[in-house]
Amino acid sequence: MRYELCASQDLPEGQSRAMKAGDTKLVVYHLSDGFYATQARCSHMFVSLGKGKILKDQCVQCPLHRAKFDIRTGAVTEWANFPPGVQILNVVRGEKALETWPVTEEGGQLYVEI
């Protein structure tokens, strides 16, 4: 199903924003080559990625344990590694990619297909 998100000019390049599409919470990102959407919460311990840091390699870094995900695919590029010792938790919270959805821009509006 297709949902309208916001005006594309309201999400400048290099920024992201937590949004909702129907019942689905997501984070929408504006990268140099377009717009992308991932699930709203980190797959490690479910912290909001809305406050995640967008890195130069087009990954988002979780603010809690610093897992990194490829925004375009949701793939894990580095699993939770902070603070030292969190690796013990990782025994039960193994690597898991983020769900992603395609975002399109039409007439100055952003849409996501869920």
Q: Are 71 and 54 in contact (CB under 8 A)?
A: yes
Please report how close the Cβ of residue 6 comes to ligand FES at its closest, in angstroms. Answer: 25
Residue 71 makes contact with ligand FES by CB under 6 A: no
Positions in 20-49 near ligand FES (CB under 6 A) = 42, 44-45, 47
Give the sheet arrangement for strand 59-61, strand by strand.
Answer: 53-54, 59-61, 68-70, 76-78
Query: Could you tell me the two tokens for 89?
Result: 């938790």
Among 11, 37, 71, 80, the residue binding ligand FES under the rule CB under 6 A is 80
* Residue 113 tokens, joined: 């297909």
From the CB of residue 16, how many other CB atoms can be counted at a distance below 10 Å? 23
Q: Which residue has the tokens 């039409």?
A: 106
Nearer to ligand FES, 21 or 42 (CB): 42
Residue choice 21, 64, 71, 103 for contact with ligand FES (CB under 6 A): 64
Q: By rule CB under 6 A, what count of residues binds ligand FES?
A: 9
* Comparison of 30 and 65: residue with beta carbon closer to ligand FES: 65
